[in-house]
């Protein structure tokens, strides 16, 4: 007996050594073949699948992601002793051989689930040698992997008809639901399909598939795994003839994530996208797409503020519409941002102590060298506050602020906050950047705007939950809060309701090529772009009218949140009355110098005065000192024949604003006439009211007739004035054209026909205006 045991042990050891040698010499094929890639939403809802080079579709799953009912049906029908045998079931093989000898045909294969996985990994012919090879591979599987691993291989590799592999793919293909949600009847159907995947495809032979399914159900009742009542109910359920459809949610986002999945060598990637929010955004676009102009598209990005998770991503209005360039991802396309950068400019100026929310700005014609910015609607408002300039998206005030930061510093600070600005090759940042004279992406803009809802700190979009939280300081908490409050006061587009308290900003690029709307709520930041992906103009397409309604539709469709803190004003932000034109605190301003009272948000207790003008020929707001004869109340100088005089001050408005001031304000800054004791005809005493000379509304100037190809030299006019005092400042259609220091006249040339308003004002604040017409000769 002892000798027998020794021989048996030796034989077993020899067999084990031979198996180990064969395993080393003839290694098992790698089971983890990445044949296709599946992109999932946060809740594991499939967004889009990508087949391999052979067109095979497989949605990888784990055992926990498959219904236990399917596992029960599979093991009961295919391999009841799966957890007991070593990969080969000798009894099943003997039974299969005996049935073959008796019937002359194969009645049952005798293959275990492990052997079926082995045949999938290493295909072979249905011969004796092939069966031996299959058994060896099955032993190898059991040698290298656990039972759970082997079962998982089967769940992912089993054929289910056509290009479909794996139970998850089959469940979505034939039942349009995840494998975790299978009913008893559905579990039985999927358990039997791999037996004859081509013949039993439900889309081709639903009746045959139902007969085989019922066979599995009866087996489940016979084995006592499921009750007779359960099986009877399941057999009533018909097998539906459903067409195989791949999921197609957020297709351009999924394409982007596919590249990442391939780089990470994973067959499925679970993203931060919220399937319900994505569906809501897609539904908004479905309702809007037919009203879009020809060849127009839309890009939408929804970011969760506190996490940076991308919750919805629509790269185009209709992925399948070639005429709308549906394959072009407009979330990542570099486009002109229009006016969407203005909130950052004013926020940075707040942080630099240059402004408060009611600082006096000039919305008047401006020319800086050869650059003359215009407002979008080609008119000017005169005196405006920071809040008004931002809410009305006025161009001239923004261009006037940018030189205080310098374009290079502004662009660098934007880049630090995550908003990368692109310029043509060899181009440098200039003043046009604030009006959209550069490029950026919807993704970067949304990232930057998250700073308004996150205390001034922007967050990089996170596409996968494992992505690191990358935050950048864009503005201080106080500046971000003030800018958000200003933007929150902008009324929504016509027909929309701002029930969510959204702070939003629009933008329209030059030539109507891009229309933008970016909004910040308490929980989400949403960006919308619309236009033509090929860059051709859409005349009349404004951000407020084209992108704004879509923005508010998206916000209305977002889930309502609760449990998070409401907006709180930072401790370093206070509210205070200030006075124009000086811009200082009303409490520190003499009543006679407070021409207009404004309520302002103040940062860090700093109340900066009205900014000085940066052009040499203009003066800024400030106090002008003059002297009075107390006996007459008239103005005097040192040259006047009076023994007494008293100093007085008047708050002067910036020079460029004076032509836009109301009569009541002009009266406040007009200096008294000179006392009669002053020398007549002196430079200080005009003696007459300021008036334009020789011109009135009937004046007509005629442009010379010019031959084709010859230069147009225009018509020249001498601008002359009488009266007033000091220097004369001349404007044509509100644009400064020069200073007549000697009061001898200023020559100006008109090169275009049209109506022109000539304005002159002096150092005492007197103003006179005349309108003339320039006509082209026939």
- Is residue 478 one of the residues assigned to a domain? yes
What pLDDT is recorded for position 307? 96
Distance CA 500, CA 561 (A): 11
Same domain assignment for residues 522 and 631 = no
Domains in the chain: how many in total? 4
Give the count of beta carbons closer than 10 Å to the beta carbon of residue 68: 12
What pLDDT is recorded for position 107? 46
What pLDDT is recorded for position 241? 83
- Is residue 719 one of the residues assigned to a domain? yes
Q: Who wins on pLDDT, 385 or 366?
A: 385
Same domain assignment for residues 409 and 445 = yes
Q: Who wins on pLDDT, 621 or 304?
A: 304
Which stretch of 115-129, 492-506, 569-583 has the lowest confidence by average pLDDT? 115-129
Distance CA 619, CA 612 (A): 7
Question: Tokens standing for 58?
Answer: 């497989």
Q: Is residue 337 over pLDDT 90?
A: yes
Q: Once rounded to an integer, what is the mean pLDDT over residues 376-404?
A: 89
Q: Once rounded to an integer, what is the mean pLDDT over residues 461-488?
A: 97
Q: Once rounded to an integer, what is the mean pLDDT over residues 182-187?
A: 94
Q: Is residue 291 over pLDDT 70?
A: yes
What pLDDT is recorded for position 344? 98
Q: Is residue 95 over pLDDT 70?
A: no
Check if 362 is active-site: no
Catalytic residue among 171, 339, 362, 458: 339
Same domain assignment for residues 597 and 707 = no
Stated as kind and residue range, the H or E segment containing 480 is: helix 477-488
Instruction: Provide the CATH number for the domain around residue 538.
Output: 3.40.710.10
What pLDDT is recorded for position 49? 86
What pLDDT is recorded for position 26? 61
- Is residue 281 one of the residues assigned to a domain? no
Tell me the CA distances in angstroms from 413 to 418, 454, 742, one per residue in order.
Answer: 9, 17, 46
- Is residue 311 one of the residues assigned to a domain? no
Q: Who wins on pLDDT, 631 or 735?
A: 631
Question: Tokens standing for 170?
Answer: 């089959």
HSE (CB half, 13 Å, CA atoms) of 710?
Answer: 8
What pLDDT is recorded for position 670? 82
Which stretch of 192-201, 558-567, 651-660 has the lowest confidence by average pLDDT? 558-567
Instruction: Name the pTM for this structure.
Output: 0.81
- Residue 355 and residue 346 in contact, taking contact as beta carbons nearer than 8 Å: yes
Q: Who wins on pLDDT, 23 or 148?
A: 148
Rounded to 5°, the CA angle 757-659-342 comes to: 105
Same domain assignment for residues 189 and 232 = yes
- Is residue 68 one of the residues assigned to a domain? yes
Instruction: Provide the CATH number for the domain around residue 65.
Output: 1.10.3810.10
Catalytic residue among 72, 78, 165, 186: 78
Same domain assignment for residues 385 and 445 = yes
DSSP for 587-633? GGS-GGG-SEEEEEEEETTB-PPPPPPSSTT---SEEEEEEEETTTT
Instruction: Provide the CATH number for the domain around residue 649.
Output: 2.60.40.10
Q: What is the DSSP letter of 726?
A: S
Q: Give me Rg for the CA atoms of the chain.
A: 40
Hey, which residues does 304 pair with through a beta bridge?
524
Stated as kind and residue range, the H or E segment containing 71 is: helix 68-78
Tell me the CA distances in angstroms from 574 to 301, 321, 347, 351, 400, one per residue in order.
Answer: 34, 52, 16, 14, 26
Pairing label, strands 37-40, 268-270: parallel
User: Could you identify the residue written with the tokens 């290009």?
Assistant: 163
Stated as kind and residue range, the H or E segment containing 567 is: none
Same domain assignment for residues 383 and 530 = yes
Hey, which residues does 530 pair with through a beta bridge?
298, 515
Name the domain boundary from 524, 557, 590. Answer: 557
Same domain assignment for residues 475 and 368 = yes
DSSP for 641-675? S-S--EEEEEEEPPGGGGGGS-HHHHHHHPPPPBP
Same domain assignment for residues 591 and 653 = no
Same domain assignment for residues 467 and 527 = yes
Please state the φ and ψ torsions of residue 434, each to the nearest 5 degrees: -75, -15
Give the model confidence (pLDDT) of 686-729 as tens digits.
457 788 988 888 888 888 887 777 777 888 999 999 888 778 88
- Is residue 297 one of the residues assigned to a domain? no
DSSP for 19-32? HHHHHHHSPPPPS-
Please state the φ and ψ torsions of residue 697, each to the nearest 5 degrees: -65, -15
Stated as kind and residue range, the H or E segment containing 525 is: strand 524-531
Q: Once rounded to an integer, what is the mean pLDDT over residues 194-210?
A: 89
Question: Tokens standing for 112?
Answer: 């275990």
Q: Once rounded to an integer, what is the mean pLDDT over residues 514-541?
A: 94
Hey, which residues does 164 pair with through a beta bridge?
57
Same domain assignment for residues 524 and 594 = no
Q: Is residue 745 over pLDDT 50?
A: yes
Q: Once rounded to an integer, what is the mean pLDDT over residues 315-337?
A: 94
Q: Is residue 126 over pLDDT 50?
A: yes
Residue 655: closest CA among 577, 594, 739, 719: 739
The C-alpha torsion from 419 through 425 and 426 to 427, rounded to 10°, is -50
Helix (H, G, I), strand (E, B) or coil at 131: helix
Distance CA 11, CA 728 (A): 118
Q: Who wins on pLDDT, 478 or 764?
A: 478
Which stretch of 97-106, 132-141, 291-300, 412-421 has the lowest confidence by average pLDDT? 97-106
> If you average pLDDT over every residue of the chain, what do you get?
86
The domain in which residue 770 lies consists of: 622-776
User: Could you identify the residue written with the tokens 């709180």?
Assistant: 568
Distance CA 661, CA 670 (A): 12
Question: Tokens standing for 718?
Answer: 């001498």
Would residue 512 be called left, alpha or beta, if left means φ above 0 and alpha means ψ between -120 and 50 degrees? left
Which band of pLDDT confidence, cut at 50, 70 and 90, is reported for residue 572?
very high
Name the domain boundary from 189, 209, 236. Answer: 236
What pLDDT is recorded for position 518? 98
DSSP for 222-241? HTTSS-HHHHHHHHHSPPP-
Check if 339 is active-site: yes
Q: Once rounded to an integer, what is the mean pLDDT over residues 95-106?
A: 51
Q: Is residue 447 over pLDDT 90?
A: yes
Q: Who wins on pLDDT, 128 or 466?
A: 466
What pLDDT is recorded for position 81? 82
Q: Is residue 98 over pLDDT 70?
A: no
What pLDDT is recorded for position 270? 94
Instruction: Name the percent of the chain lying above pLDDT 70.
Output: 87
Same domain assignment for residues 509 and 588 = no
Question: Tokens standing for 518?
Answer: 């970016």
- Is residue 313 one of the residues assigned to a domain? no
Q: Is residue 130 over pLDDT 90?
A: no
Q: Is residue 370 over pLDDT 80?
A: no
Q: Is residue 470 over pLDDT 90?
A: yes
Stated as kind and residue range, the H or E segment containing 508 is: strand 503-508
Same domain assignment for residues 159 and 82 = yes
Name the domain boundary from 236, 263, 279. Answer: 236
- Is residue 291 one of the residues assigned to a domain? no
Q: Is residue 407 over pLDDT 50?
A: yes
Q: Who wins on pLDDT, 33 or 399?
A: 399
């Amino acid at each position: 007996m002892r000798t027998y045991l020794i021989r048996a042990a030796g034989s077993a050891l020899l067999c084990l050594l031979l198996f180990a040698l064969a395993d080393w010499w003839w290694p098992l094929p790698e089971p983890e073949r990445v044949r296709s890639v599946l992109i999932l939403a946060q809740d594991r809802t499939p967004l889009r699948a990508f087949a391999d080079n052979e067109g095979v579709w497989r949605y990888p799953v784990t055992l926990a992601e498959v219904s236990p009912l399917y596992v029960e049906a599979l093991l009961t029908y295919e391999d009841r002793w799966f957890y007991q045998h070593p990969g080969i079931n000798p009894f099943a093989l003997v039974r299969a051989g005996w049935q073959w000898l008796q019937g002359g045909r194969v009645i049952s294969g005798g293959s275990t689930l492990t052997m079926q996985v082995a045949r999938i990994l290493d295909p072979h012919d249905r011969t004796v040698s092939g069966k031996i090879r299959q058994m060896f591979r099955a032993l190898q599987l059991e040698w290298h992997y656990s039972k759970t691993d082997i079962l998982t291989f089967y769940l992912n590799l089993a054929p289910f008809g056509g290009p479909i592999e794996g139970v998850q793919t089959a469940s979505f293909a034939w039942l349009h639901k995840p494998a975790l949600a299978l009913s008893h009847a559905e579990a039985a159907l999927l358990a039997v399909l791999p037996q004859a995947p081509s013949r039993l495809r439900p889309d081709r032979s639903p009746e045959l598939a139902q007969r085989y399914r019922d066979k599995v159900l009866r087996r489940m009742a016979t084995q006592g795994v499921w009750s007779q009542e359960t099986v009877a109910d399941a057999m009533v359920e018909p097998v539906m003839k459903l067409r195989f459809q791949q999921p197609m949610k957020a297709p351009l986002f999924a394409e982007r994530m596919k590249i990442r999945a391939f780089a990470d060598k994973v067959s499925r990637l679970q993203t931060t996208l919220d399937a319900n929010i994505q569906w809501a955004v897609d539904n908004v676009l479905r309702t809007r797409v037919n009203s879009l102009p020809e060849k127009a598209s839309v890009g939408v990005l929804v970011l969760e503020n506190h996490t940076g998770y991308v919750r919805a991503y629509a790269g185009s209005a209709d992925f399948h519409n070639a005429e709308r360039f549906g394959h072009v991802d407009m979330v990542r396309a570099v486009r002109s941002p229009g006016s969407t950068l203005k909130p950052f400019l004013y926020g940075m100026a707040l942080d630099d102590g240059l402004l408060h929310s009611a600082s006096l700005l000039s919305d008047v014609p401006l020319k800086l060298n050869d650059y003359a910015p215009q407002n979008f609607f080609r008119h000017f408002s005169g005196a405006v506050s920071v809040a008004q300039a931002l809410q009305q998206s006025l161009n001239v005030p923004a261009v006037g602020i940018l030189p205080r930061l310098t374009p290079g510093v502004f662009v660098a600070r934007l880049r630090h906050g995550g908003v990368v600005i692109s310029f043509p090759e060899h181009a440098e940042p200039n003043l046009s950047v604030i009006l959209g004279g550069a490029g950026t992406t919807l993704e970067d803009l949304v990232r930057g705007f998250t700073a308004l809802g996150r205390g001034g700190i922007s967050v990089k979009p996170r596409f996968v939950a494992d992505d690191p939280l990358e935050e950048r300081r864009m503005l201080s908490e106080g500046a971000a809060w003030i800018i958000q409050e200003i933007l929150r006061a902008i009324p929504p587009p016509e027909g929309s309701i701002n029930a969510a308290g959204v702070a939003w900003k629009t933008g329209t690029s030059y030539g109507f090529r891009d229309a933008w709307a970016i909004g910040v709520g308490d929980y989400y930041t949403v960006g919308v772009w619309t236009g033509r992906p090929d860059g051709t103009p859409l005349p009349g397409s404004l951000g407020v009218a084209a992108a704004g309604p879509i923005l508010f539709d998206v916000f209305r469709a977002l889930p309502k949140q609760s449990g998070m803190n409401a907006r709180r004003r930072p401790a370093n932000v206070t509210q205070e009355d200030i006075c124009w034109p000086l811009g200082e605190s009303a409490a520190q301003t003499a009543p006679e110098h407070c021409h207009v009272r404004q309520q302002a948000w103040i940062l860090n207790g700093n109340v900066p005065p009205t900014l000085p003008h940066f052009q040499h020929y203009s003066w800024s707001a400030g106090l002008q000192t003059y002297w009075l004869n107390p006996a007459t109340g008239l103005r005097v100088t040192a040259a006047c024949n009076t023994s007494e005089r008293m100093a007085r001050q008047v708050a002067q408005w910036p020079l460029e604003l004076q032509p836009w001031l109301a009569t009541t304000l002009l009266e406040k800054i007009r200096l008294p006439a000179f006392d009669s004791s002053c020398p007549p005809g002196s430079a200080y005493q005009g003696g007459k009211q300021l008036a334009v000379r020789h011109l009135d509304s009937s004046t007509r100037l005629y442009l010379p007739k010019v031959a084709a190809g010859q230069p147009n030299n225009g018509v020249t006019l001498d601008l002359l004035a009488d009266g007033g005092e000091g220097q004369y400042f001349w404007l044509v259609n509100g644009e400064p054209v020069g200073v007549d220091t000697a009061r001898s006249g200023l020559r100006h040339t008109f090169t275009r026909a049209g109506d022109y308003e000539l304005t002159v004002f002096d150092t005492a604040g007197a103003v006179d205006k005349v309108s003339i017409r320039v006509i082209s000769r026939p």
